[in-house]
Amino acid sequence: MPKKAIWLVIIFTLLFVLGINTGDLDYLMNLGNTICLSCIGVG
Amino acid sequence: MGALRRLIQTLVALGTNSYLLFPWASVIYQGPLKAVCHPGLNCYSCPGALLSCPVGAVQNFISGLRYTAPGSMPHLGAMVVGYLGFIGTLVGRLPCGWLCPFGFIQDLIHKIPSPKFNLWVPLRWVKYGVLVVMVILMPFFLLDQYGIGQPWFCKLLCPAGTMLGALPLVILKPQLWTTLGFYFWNKITILSIIVILAVLIARPFCRILCPLGAFYSLFTRMTLVQLEFNEGNCVQCRACVKVCPMGVVPHEQRDSRECIMCLKCLDACHFRALEFGLRRPLPHPREVHNPSIIQGIKNT
């Protein structure tokens, strides 16, 4: 595995952990629990 | 390998869309699994969907960046970017070939007997424009009167949202009919074009428009797994080229950004010219040249 890829895996893992600790999970769950009007094409 | 891939595609498509209570309870699933993104394109407004859509999630995070309630931190969407980047770095576009429900639907549509055509190659660059403009720039810069952006890719283009989200919801909730306008009919038109194209061309949406595939493809040159080409075994029969749904020429394009690792080429090759496995490091130049051989050449 190239070194660049190892660094990317580390960076993305840190980003993932940062997201979880800044409340992205709740935000995503609220988002997913409402009907996406944009997806339907309302408006 | 083909049968295994078809089985996995079927299991993933059905398994991640297995909420069956929508006729009686909530019209979409509203449980904790919605905090997890699907690795492929799967509308989270599909009545059966258990997981969130990664492209929709990224757009919603970006669209809310410029509107943050006083005293609260903006949500950067780092979790979703980290999740997608992690997958992309490990396996590149493999989720497109094995896990994406909309890719699977296009594979099935392409089985309809008809004349088949190749795609005009430069069109593959359009998806990078879609990723930058519709998924990143438009949700960030085009704001409504409240200062909130919109998920423009979902709103203007996404045929997966139309097929898996809009159409079932409109059927299940007839009261939505009164709210449908330009955006709905625009998306129905795009979906119809994609479906017709999918009969004639393999995976047109993945090759031309998919921003998720465009994102994963950024990592194809450094993934943990790779499709390796053994030049010595190749007899130039082009059997691999004929079966590739993405129009890749495996013996000319190493680590192609278009390759979704469906491994049809592996099945088609009878000479073991292609291998799928862990990426091996390139040999160091000093290891390639044997000093004794070089010395021998100099002495002659």
Q: How far is A19 from chain B (nearest CA, A)?
A: 4
Helix/strand/coil for B235: coil
CB contact under 8 A, A14 and B82: yes
Whether residues B210 and B231 fall in one domain? no
The span from the CA of B136 to the CA of B192, in Å, is 26
Whether residues B48 and B167 fall in one domain? yes
Q: Over the range B150-181, which residues count as b (16 or more CB within 10 Å of their CB) and which as e?
A: bbbbbbbbbbbbbbbbbbbbbeeeeebeeebe
Please give the pLDDT value at position B69. 67
Task: Give tens-digit pLDDT for A1-43.
Answer: 678 889 999 999 999 999 999 888 988 888 888 888 888 877 6
Whether residues B184 and B236 fall in one domain? no
Expressed as residue numbers, the domain containing B122 is 2-66+74-215
Kindly identify which residue of chain A lies nearest to residue B280, measuring between CA atoms: A1
Please give the pLDDT value at position B297. 54
Whether residues B170 and B259 fall in one domain? no
Q: Does residue B175 belong to any structural domain of this protein?
A: yes
Whether residues B194 and B245 fall in one domain? no
Kindly identify which residue of chain A lies nearest to residue B222, measuring between CA atoms: A5
CB contact under 8 A, A24 and B281: no
The list of chain B residues with pLDDT below 50 reads 288
Whether residues B30 and B157 fall in one domain? yes
Whether residues B114 and B209 fall in one domain? yes
Q: What is the CATH number of the domain that holds B229?
A: 3.30.70.20
Please give the pLDDT value at position B285. 53
Q: Does residue B297 belong to any structural domain of this protein?
A: no
pTM, full prediction: 0.89
Among B215, B247, B267, residue at a domain's last position: B215
Q: How far is B20 from chain A (nearest CA, A)?
A: 16
Please give the pLDDT value at position A1. 66
Please give the pLDDT value at position B293. 55
Please give the pLDDT value at position B141. 92
Q: Does residue B292 belong to any structural domain of this protein?
A: no
ipTM for the predicted complex comes to 0.93
CB contact under 8 A, B79 and A19: yes
Identify all chain B residues contacting A1, using CB atoms and an 8 Å cutoff: 222, 224, 278-279, 281
Whether residues B120 and B267 fall in one domain? no
The total number of structural domains in chain B stands at 2
> In this complex, which of A5, A29, A33 lies closest to B222 when CB atoms are compared?
A5
Of B213, B205, B56, the C-alpha closest to B139 is B56
